[in-house]
Each structure stands twice: as C-alpha cells, then as structure tokens.
Amino acid sequence: MQAATIKINQTGESQTLTIEKPASGLSLQGRIRVPGDKSISHRALMLGALATGETTVEGLLLGEDPRSTAKCFSLLGASISELNAELVTVRGVGLGDLTEPIDVLDAGNSGTTMRLMLGILASHPGRFFAVTGDSSLRSRPMSRVIKPLQQMGAQIWGRAGNSLAPLAVVGQQLKPIHYHSPIASAQVKSCILLAGLMAEGETTVTEPALSRDHSERMLRAFGAQLTVDRETCSVTVTGPAKLIGQKVIVPGDISSAAFWLVAGAIVPNSELVVENVGVNPTRTGVLEALEMMGADIELQNQREAAGEPVADILVRNSAQLKGCTIAGDLIPRLIDEIPILAVAAAFAKGTTVIRDAAELRVKESDRLAVMAAQLNRMGAKITELPDGLEITGGTPLTGADVDSYTDHRIAMSLAIAALNSSGVTNIHRAEAAAISYPDFTATLQQVCQPN
Ligand code: S3P
C-alpha cells in the first residue's frame, strides 16, 4: 500500500503544498476536530476587552486572524493571556475605557478585526487611533462601515476618499441611528451595534437578509440590552450599555468543517465525523447546499454550548453529487463556503449556478475570479458570472500548478480538489491556510488512507 504524497515545500516565508494520491487511490476516514470558530473567537476577545471583569475563552482559534485581534486589543489596554486553545483569559478595561494606543493598530489580513474594531474606536471620545492591515486588507472596502459610522458622528479619514486603510480615527460621542444596510454583512451589522453600545438611545441595523448572529448572541450574554426582529432582519441595541465578563466556549468552525464535508462527499468510499462543530442556523447554508447536491450528511449529538448550537457531523461518500442552484437568502448563510462548494460542484453531475454572490469579489481575494481560474487550470469547466459562477461538473480533474492568491479558503479548497484529481497538484502560497486553520495539512495527512 503506497501512501498519498502530501508534503510542504518551504521557500522563505512561502509554502508549496504538493498533493498526489497513490495509484491505488485513497479514501478519507476518521473522527476529527476543527479549530475554533473564527467569528466567535474575534468577538470573544473584543467583548472580553470591553467588559468589566474577567472573560474566559475555551477553544479559541489560534489562527493569524484572532492573533491580530488579540494584538490590537492588548495595545488598547486589555490584558490578554497567552493564546492557547484550552483557556484564554481576558481582563477587560470596561466599556468606554480603552486607552489611546502608542502604536498603529494592525489588523493583518482580517476584515472582521478592522471593521468591528472601527465601530469600537470611533465611539471612544477624544482618543486618536491609526489602523492598518496587510496589502489584501488595505485594498478591501471600508466605506461600508465608515459611511454609517459618519452618520453617527464618527471622524474617520483614509485613502481613496476615506474608503481604504490605512485609516485615522478620532473617537467621538456618537449618536444612535437606524441604519438600513444595502448588504447582508455581519461585519457591517456588528460594527454599528458595537458603536451603538456607547451611543445614548436605540441604534438599529436592518439588513436585506439575515447574516450571522454571533454578535447578537454574545452581546446579550455579556449583558447588553438587545432586541431582534427576525421578520424585518433588524437588531436594536440600547446604549449606553454595560458589559460584564463571561465564560465563552468556542465551537469548531463550520467554515473549516466544510472542507472535510465536501472531501468526504466527493472522495470514493470516505466516511468522516467532524466533532463539535458550531451549527448556528445563520451559518448552516453549506449543509443545505450539500443536501441539495445529494450529499449524505447527518447531524449527531446536537447540543448547546454557551449560547451556540453544536453537533458532530457525519459525512459519507455514498452517491454521485448533482448540480444545483445556490442564490438569494442562502448566500449570506454560506458566504465563506462558496470556494469549497465550487469544488463540490466541479465533481457533481450537471450544472451548478451560484448567483447573488458579488460580495466574493471583495473578500481576501476575488474568490469568484480566483476559484474559476485555478479550478479551470485543473480541467474544470467554470464560467464567471458578474455575481457568481456557472460550473459544469463531472469532468475528471488533473493535477496542476495552482495559486492561493494568499487567500486561506482558496488554498484549502484547492487542496481538497487535488485529493480527487489524477496527477500532481502544487498549491503555491499555501501558508495562507494558517489564517483560519493552522493544522489543515496535518489533518489532511491524518485522514487520507490509501486503498
Ligand atoms: C464575518 C462576516 C462575513 C464573513 C467573514 C466573517 C464575521 O463577512 O465572510 O469571514 O465574523 O462577521 P461579511 O460581513 O463581509 O459578509
């Protein structure tokens, strides 16, 4: 029995991940865990930093993105213990008492860090903050949060007409607004709600479709007065709020589990259980999409941990996937899983159409353009649409030289495509996976069993 080739070649800071399945083929087997949820990890560190007293965080994601959040909030005066997945302790400063940092706040690659933090900084009167990020983040639109913050009275300056980082913020006493967001974005919603914590009165955000609601759940648990109207997709926070440190348990990230769910569904004879995955209904669109495609997926041991639903997820490769349409209100509920769903679609029979997903063009990379180009290098038949992809599945894929474009989800999606392809795939700049999943390659090696 010859094992699969799964190896990393390091050149300076850059890694190439090489994947070649053995001539006898392979299947994926085992029970695995994925790292902590990225969205919940950021929020636990931020609310912990703003609260009075101590917050403990179990299961924090140790990826680069939450590390950026931890560094920023340490500079802002919170006392955060060394990051580890078992237990992180955050001693908060108390709402409104962040200190003026002596250096630039660097959000790295993390849109969530920058956008949520802007709401917090803008509402700290009299303090000056400089905010930047890596080259990807410095090209991502910040006007979507800056404009509503300016309506609240925020003072923010930046490149390209106050829309791109680096940014300068001088905190103000903000006033509450009712903001009708043109996009369903949890980052926009959370930014405004966090700014609203310090504004006197009711700050409401209405969005066109429901985005992830981790901020709402956690803000309530920390003691904020918050009401949700599901009918109109509106959330209202009443300020000034008081936040009190809590115990947060971070479930496994369904966005990371998604790589294994697709891998298990497309690689012949696979059977995997991903344990302890967060299955908040605002995040489970990927399960619905895979079900539409005919995947064999079962939720086991459903439970709740610190206000978030959790389950173990079993996936079996039992049937050939079939194409489907993914659009509308489903999109915000699987926004980060579209790259890996494109891989599923490339192996499915028939055509898959993904629409209403123009947001993907302003993620860590232009995920529509990059996924189409990279999978097509492997022999897929994907056409880019202005707001999505049209994927004609079922053609066998062949290994190729492909590039992550330094986007973590692209790197991991291409690795899963490579598992089910013939020949050798080299994924360049694969180190990007560490943004949300530092142990991805180790788990890949662990679950791949030669036939
Ligand atoms: C996130 C919201 C989403 C998502 C991102 C994390 C969050 O972004 O893509 O990975 O934690 O709030 P948008 O709000 O831009 O859709």
**CA distance linking residue 257 with residue 271, whole number of Å:** 14
Taking CB atoms and a 6 Å cutoff, what residues make up the pocket around ligand 1? 39, 112, 185-187, 190, 212, 335-336, 359
Q: Which of 68, 255, 335, 341 to mutate to test the pocket of ligand 1 (most atoms within 8 A of CB)?
A: 335
Q: Where in the chain are the domains?
A: 5-35+251-450, 38-249
The reported pLDDT for the residue numbered 1 is: 67
Centroid of ligand 1 to alpha carbon of 399 (angstroms): 31
What is the predicted pLDDT for the residue at 218?
98
pLDDT band at 318 (very low <50, low <70, confident <90, very high): confident
Using the mean position of ligand 1's atoms as its centre, give its distance from the Cα of residue 395 in Å: 32
- Give per-residue pLDDT as tens, 187-226: 999 999 999 999 999 999 999 999 999 999 999 999 999 9
Q: Which residues contact 432 (CB under 8 A, 6 or more apart)?
A: 364, 404, 406, 407, 408, 410, 411
- Predicted confidence (pLDDT) per residue in 257-289, tens digit: 999 999 999 999 999 999 999 999 999 999 999
Question: Residue 102: helix, strand or coil by DSSP?
Answer: coil
> Best mutation site among 42, 43, 109, 185 for ligand 1, i.e. most ligand atoms within 8 A of its Cβ?
185
% of the chain with per-residue pLDDT over 90: 98
Confidence of residue 319 (pLDDT cuts 50, 70, 90): confident
Q: 432 pLDDT band (50/70/90 cuts)?
A: very high
Q: What is the mean pLDDT of the chain?
A: 97
What is the share, in percent, of the chain residues with pLDDT greater than 70? 100
Atom of ligand 1 nearest to the CA of 187: 14
Nearest CA residue ID for atom 16, ligand 1: 185
Q: Does 336 qualify as catalytic in the annotation?
A: yes
Q: Where are the beta strands (DSSP E) in 261-342?
A: 271-278, 296-305, 308-316, 325-326
pLDDT at 2 over 90: no
User: Comparing 13 with 333, which gets the higher pLDDT?
Assistant: 333
Which of 309, 325, 317, 257 is CA-nearest to residue 287?
A: 257
Separation of CA 6 and ligand 1 centre (Å):
30
Pairing assessment for the beta strands 247-249 and 54-58 based on DSSP bridges: parallel
Expressed in angstroms and rounded, the spacing between residue 70 Cα and the centre of ligand 1 is 18
**What's the predicted TM-score (pTM) here?**
0.98
Mean of the pLDDT values across residues 320-332?
Answer: 98
Phi, psi of 20 (to 5 degrees): -145, 125
> If you classify domain 5-35+251-450 with CATH, what class do you get?
alpha beta
CA of 139 to the centre of ligand 1 (A): 16
Which superfamily is assigned to 38-249 in CATH? Answer: Enolpyruvate transferase domain (3.65.10.10)
Give nearest CA residue, ligand 1 atom 11. Answer: 39
Q: How long is the chain?
A: 451
Catalytic residue from among 106, 336, 403, 407: 336
